[in-house]
Structure 1
Amino acid sequence: MGIINSGFLTVSTFLQQHIYHVPEYQRGYSWTEDQLEDYWIDLMQLAEDDGLGSHFLGQIVVHFERDTEKWFIIDGQQRTSTSIIILDAIRDILDHLHEVEHLEDAKIEADDLTSKYIGRVTPKRNDERLILGETDKEFFKKIVQRRGIIHSENIKVKRLSNSEELILKASKYFHKKLNELVNEEKDPDAKYNKIISVMNLILDQFKVMYVETDDINEAFIIFETLNARGKELETSDLLKNHVFRSSSDRIENIKEKWSRMIENLDNADPTKFIRHYWNGKYKFVREKDLYKNIRKEIDTPQKVEELIDTLVDLSELYFALNNPKSINYYQSPSLNERMTELQNLGAKSYYPILLGLENKHYSEEDIDQVLAALECLIVRNFVVSSKVANKYEIEFAKIARQINNDDYVTSQSIVEAVRDLIISDEEFKENFKYFTTKKTPVIRYLLRKIHNSFNYETRIINDNGRIHIEHIMPKKPREWKVSEDVHKDYLWRLGNLTLLGEEYNRSATNKTFDLKKEVYKKSQIKMTKQLENYDTWKVKDIEKRQMEFADISVGIWAK
């Protein structure tokens, strides 16, 4: 039918008119101290300024499910839950005033809070006014809705989920703030009047924009429209709600798969993951347009399930791409090492290609060949030549789409498509001659690769604790006769940098070149030991060494 109730309501009217449920697919309680502090500051400003009149708490979008005759909060569960948490803290203070100061009115007000807004919850009764999802429901009942002060020191925080811990922190935050406020007064009646005034501000002067509909699709559209420009909602939350809304009778299966995807991603950003996959499968979009495009394209339960199935399959690889040192996703050591090296270079724009290769079940050998070509491109075009990655992000997405569309006959044809984007040897060498960087992972990577390319007997390991970057002309050239301009221009040139292992001697780092050579002679790293062949270390020596590196590099990262 559509919208059946809407308008601005006081928190009192909103909380009293229905018993509300939070859908299972909604995230758990998520407000941190920043949001709690905003709530409290708004409350205190209202208390101190009679001219304000009221405070807009935010929007509430509710779906009335006619089959079950239940009201589900589609948008606004955080502010609703928080309002009940602070009302419970007020109830505890009123109960204390009744028990200790024998104020009968305090008990009456606490009883009203229980019956009208919080709900009667005892070991044998569950008459909540707000019923959270399974993740938080029991803990919320125990900490907030059940009457009586909970001694938080008896709760084992380590066993709590993230949302349960946030509920506990919110409860403690408001108990602390309210007790500090009330204890400013000495007289019991003054304490009572102060806590009642705060309670009335929340119930009667905090207002919400309330929209209720009996059409779930319309509820989500309203929710998405209201949040489209806000910072509160992540794109991934909008995507999740669209996916669930479009799942029809497959909703339970889709919810389980979405949760599995999020669990697989761990600390990886789900929005970026979905966009990397999407751009390798459909038309290229920026993040701000991702939701709009998915909503337009994924519009049936079958399409939803196909999308989610693919995302679940690829989510473990995406986690590995972002955390290659903590997980060996592939059996091939070479492939896992290459993923680590690409992360050291800060590369991410190639992700759609690897997701496409995995999605189409290319062999590890094929994937390694493609990544080798991508590594070459990233070093030559991005790292050394400072080409803008945005242009290549579009090109990489195009290659990924062709992979997903089976446009390539062999992996070699994909390699050739990547190589077509690589700059020429001449341009690479010219840029390498003047290459400077302060990014230590990049420096280690380049010097290791250069050393390992011509010295197979002693390969340098990728261990920051054992391998150190050494400035030959030092950072503090007190004993060097070098101008400030030369020092600034050449300190971070690759030709002025080398690697030191266990022979690293911090006390020698700022000494003259003759003294530093004594350290270099002991090095097991050939490129460092070769520095003993230099009589001086001036601009011409740095340039000569860097030119030698440039000649070698064309072969290492061969087009």
Structure 2
Amino acid sequence: MAETTEFDHDQLGHLLADHLLEVPRFQRSFSWDESNVDEYLSDLDQARVKKVSYFMGTVVFAVSSDSGGRRQIVDGQQRLATTAILLIAIRDRLRGYGKKKQADAINERFLRGYVLSVDDDVERLILSPKDQFAYDALLEERADDLPSDNPLKACYHACAAHLKKLAPQAKDYRKLLEVSTQVEQQVQVLVAVASDLPEAYVIFETLNDRGADLTTADLLKNYLFSASKHYFNFVESQWTSLESNFEKPDDLVKFLRYEYVSRKGPTSSRKLYRSIQTDVNGSSVRVKKYIQGLIKAQAVYGALREPESPFWADVNVDVRDALYAYRRFGFEASFPVLIAAFQTWKKVDAAKLLVKVAKWSVRAQFAGRLGGGVAEDAFGETAARISDKTVTNQTGARDLLGRIIPPDSEFILAFTTYGDISVSRAKYLLAMLEKASDEKAGRPERALEWYSRNVTIEHILPQSVQNSTADPSVINQIGNLALLEKKLNHQAGSKPFINKRELYEQSQYVLTKDLAAKQDWNAASVSDRTVLLSELACRSWPMA
């Protein structure tokens, strides 16, 4: 591969200006959405403000005898196409401001101009057949001819809106020129040019077969090692120790992001490397401090995933139920908050917050408030405020997390209409409802080892029910599920309800024992029991 492939460093704008490029016809179409484009534009803005270069990864080309002198894009289509569309938007805005000379220069250099070897005006970038019509329309200032859902049109409008905000008046036109100059001189890429497409794909697979997260881990490791200087031996040994705690590279990167978010607030996986690089800023002292912080944070992170960890031995707070809730519901988005609390607060106070966050997360889960970026942003912002000591107690954390914690009325409605519950989650939910029932009735507190294999989930209407009058949609709803000892569940099998009541009577779980008093069980019974359980839900998972 080394004999037939050239490796170099270049700028993204130079690639468009100095070469004729083409997307192979079998490549996927342009697929960046508005969020991808906005992130790119935002990154360019930040780099200009800081007056630093912006690295956009590796671009892989193939140049073969039948390519007509054009480099075929194997990896980098989205970045190159978005950059070209950004330059089209710059050209169009310059023309709108009457800056024809500057607009024509942009067009000639980056988009479409005379090429001596071809002896004609040609497009410097050719996209796939599916995208070329739309790209031609943008080149010819016919964006309005394209359907509203066209991805290239959406990209163009995102760029145009960004430029309008950047240069709202004609007198601001030089800001547009600054962007084109930045793209040509400051947006850095590593370039691999293979002699043919098969060779290019070998390079592409070598660069990408382990995934973007591993690339992030490798980049960060290399950067930290190179910046550690006289602390190299310490940094190397600590990093090796850290890596040994993770089976997969993407698990390591997930932890690295949670740790960063716990101190600095929300950041995406894609921005993680640049964020940490900026934070460390090439200082060997900061590298050492960062590694030391990672080791401490990993102790917390590991304990959050393991209820049996010795980390909890000296905590006089019962965190076991909460930790199992994190595991069974996948509540990891809140980990930055907990890492921050255990790094900043007294351990007992952080443990109490852990229990509260689990309860708030259950509410949010039922209400559908944990999806998307809203919850991650809320947890990230709260974590940063804990780390900078702006938030010093549970009340402050709850106030910041308020947007994802539903009030009682919304929670009860969501609880009663939620639908199917998995067995692993049902065990936790029913156990917490059982504890709330004990508390409400004034019964002594019990240690319910609901996570034990000896505790099972009983489907009151059996899963294998053949009764045509039974509604299959209620089989896995919370109202049709009950905690039952394994030996009793084995005896119950798929018997009719009337034949299982005496087994329910023998259970230690009050909410299960109560079923023995029922004369019949059907869909209406499931609904009634769900409402009954919802009355305990706010006691099980309170806001306060």
Give TM-score scaled by structure 2 length: 0.57
Distance 1:386 1:475 in 2: 30
Amino acid of the structure 2 residue aligned with 1:241: N
Q: Does 2:476 align with 1:492?
A: yes
SS at match of 2:500: helix
Which among 423, 437, 454 is matched to residue 440 of structure 1?
Answer: 423
Cα deviation digits, residues 14-69 of structure 1 (max 9, x gap) = xxxxxxxxxxxxxxxxxxxxxxxxxxxxxxxxxxxxxxxxxxxxxxxxxxxxxxxx
Which residue of the partner structure matches residue 141 of structure 1?
A: none
Distance 2:486 2:320 in 1: 27
Which residue of the partner structure matches residue 537 of structure 1?
A: 521
Which residue of the partner structure matches residue 233 of structure 2?
A: 252
| Cα pair 1:373 1:418 within 8 Å, conserved | no
Which among 433, 441, 461 is matched to residue 449 of structure 2?
Answer: 461
Shifted more, 524-533 versus 404-413: the winner is 404-413
Distance 1:346 1:224 in 2: 40
Which residue of the partner structure matches residue 506 of structure 1?
A: 490
Q: Does 2:276 align with 1:294?
A: yes
Distance 1:224 1:402 in 2: 43
Residues 192-211 of structure 1: matches in 2 within 5 Å?
none
Q: Post-superposition shift, 1:293?
A: 2.1
Amino acid of the structure 2 residue aligned with 1:463: Y
Q: Post-superposition shift, 1:235?
A: 1.9
Which residue of the partner structure matches residue 339 of structure 1?
A: 323
Distance 1:430 1:337 in 2: 24
| Cα pair 1:373 1:419 within 8 Å, conserved | no
Mark the CA change 1:375 to 1:464 in structure 2 (over 3 Å): closer, same or farther: same
Amino acid of the structure 2 residue aligned with 1:476: S
Distance 2:475 2:331 in 1: 25
Which residue of the partner structure matches residue 482 of structure 1?
A: 469
Mark the CA change 1:411 to 1:547 in structure 2 (over 3 Å): closer, same or farther: closer
Q: Does 2:209 align with 1:231?
A: yes
Mark the CA change 1:316 to 1:494 in structure 2 (over 3 Å): closer, same or farther: same
Shifted more, 533-542 versus 369-378: the winner is 369-378
Which residue of the partner structure matches residue 406 of structure 1?
A: 389
Q: Post-superposition shift, 1:449?
A: 0.4
Q: Does 2:422 align with 1:424?
A: no
Distance 1:371 1:525 in 2: 26
Where has structure 1 moved over 3 Å in runs of 4 or more?
7-11, 221-229, 231-234, 263-268, 325-330, 383-387, 409-412, 418-421, 456-459
Q: Post-superposition shift, 1:384?
A: 5.3
Distance 1:367 1:224 in 2: 49
Distance 2:192 2:391 in 1: 39
Which among 215, 224, 232 is matched to residue 243 of structure 1?
Answer: 224
Cα deviation digits, residues 454-497 of structure 1 (max 9, x gap) = 2254542133411010000001112x3425xx21x101110000
SS at match of 2:389: coil
Shifted more, 249-258 versus 395-404: the winner is 249-258
Q: Post-superposition shift, 1:328?
A: 4.3
Amino acid of the structure 1 residue aligned with 2:515: L
Which residue of the partner structure matches residue 359 of structure 1?
A: 343
Amino acid of the structure 1 residue aligned with 2:362: V
Cα deviation digits, residues 406-458 of structure 1 (max 9, x gap) = 11244432244334531111111111112223422210000000011222545
Q: Post-superposition shift, 1:282?
A: 2.2
Mark the CA change 1:519 to 1:244 in structure 2 (over 3 Å): closer, same or farther: same
Which among 234, 244, 253 is matched to residue 271 of structure 1?
Answer: 253
SS at match of 1:465: coil
Distance 2:435 2:348 in 1: 22
SS at match of 2:291: helix
Mark the CA change 1:482 to 1:463 in structure 2 (over 3 Å): closer, same or farther: same
Distance 2:318 2:450 in 1: 14
Amino acid of the structure 2 residue aligned with 1:230: N
Distance 2:502 2:192 in 1: 67
Which residue of the partner structure matches residue 243 of structure 2?
A: 262
Structure 2: stretches of 5+ with no match in the other structure: 6-188, 194-202
Q: Post-superposition shift, 1:281?
A: 1.8
Cα deviation digits, residues 497-545 of structure 1 (max 9, x gap) = 0011154243532111110112112222111110011111112111111
Mark the CA change 1:331 to 1:267 in structure 2 (over 3 Å): closer, same or farther: farther
Cα deviation digits, residues 130-169 of structure 1 (max 9, x gap) = xxxxxxxxxxxxxxxxxxxxxxxxxxxxxxxxxxxxxxxx
SS at match of 1:407: coil
Distance 1:491 1:415 in 2: 35
| Cα pair 1:503 1:519 within 8 Å, conserved | no
Amino acid of the structure 1 residue aligned with 2:223: H
Cα deviation digits, residues 202-221 of structure 1 (max 9, x gap) = xxxxxxxxxxxxxxxxxxx9
Which residue of the partner structure matches residue 290 of structure 2?
A: 307
Distance 1:384 1:370 in 2: 21
Residues 392-403 of structure 1: matches in 2 within 5 Å?
392-403=375-386
Which residue of the partner structure matches residue 58 of structure 2?
A: none
Mark the CA change 1:222 to 1:323 in structure 2 (over 3 Å): closer, same or farther: farther
SS at match of 1:498: strand
Q: Post-superposition shift, 1:264?
A: 4.6
- What is the root-mean-square deviation in Å for CA atoms of aligned residues? 2.9
| Cα pair 2:326 2:358 within 8 Å, conserved | yes
Distance 2:370 2:385 in 1: 24
Cα deviation digits, residues 105-137 of structure 1 (max 9, x gap) = xxxxxxxxxxxxxxxxxxxxxxxxxxxxxxxxx
Mark the CA change 1:247 to 1:459 in structure 2 (over 3 Å): closer, same or farther: closer
Which residue of the partner structure matches residue 9 of structure 1?
A: 3
| Cα pair 2:415 2:534 within 8 Å, conserved | yes
Amino acid of the structure 2 residue aligned with 1:231: D
Distance 1:443 1:550 in 2: 14
| Cα pair 2:340 2:384 within 8 Å, conserved | yes
Distance 1:512 1:293 in 2: 60
Q: Post-superposition shift, 1:357?
A: 1.1
Amino acid of the structure 2 residue aligned with 1:339: L
SS at match of 1:504: helix
SS at match of 1:253: helix
Shifted more, 276-285 versus 425-434: the winner is 276-285
SS at match of 2:323: helix
Distance 1:267 1:9 in 2: 33
Distance 1:224 1:459 in 2: 62
Give TM-score scaled by structure 1 length: 0.56
Distance 1:223 1:335 in 2: 51
Distance 1:520 1:513 in 2: 10
Q: Post-superposition shift, 1:372?
A: 2.8
SS at match of 2:208: coil
Mark the CA change 1:459 to 1:315 in structure 2 (over 3 Å): closer, same or farther: closer
Q: How many residues align?
A: 339
Distance 2:368 2:4 in 1: 60
Distance 1:224 1:440 in 2: 51
Shifted more, 321-330 versus 426-435: the winner is 321-330
| Cα pair 2:465 2:494 within 8 Å, conserved | yes
| Cα pair 1:437 1:443 within 8 Å, conserved | no
Amino acid of the structure 1 residue aligned with 2:227: S
SS at match of 2:514: helix
Shifted more, 240-249 versus 332-341: the winner is 332-341
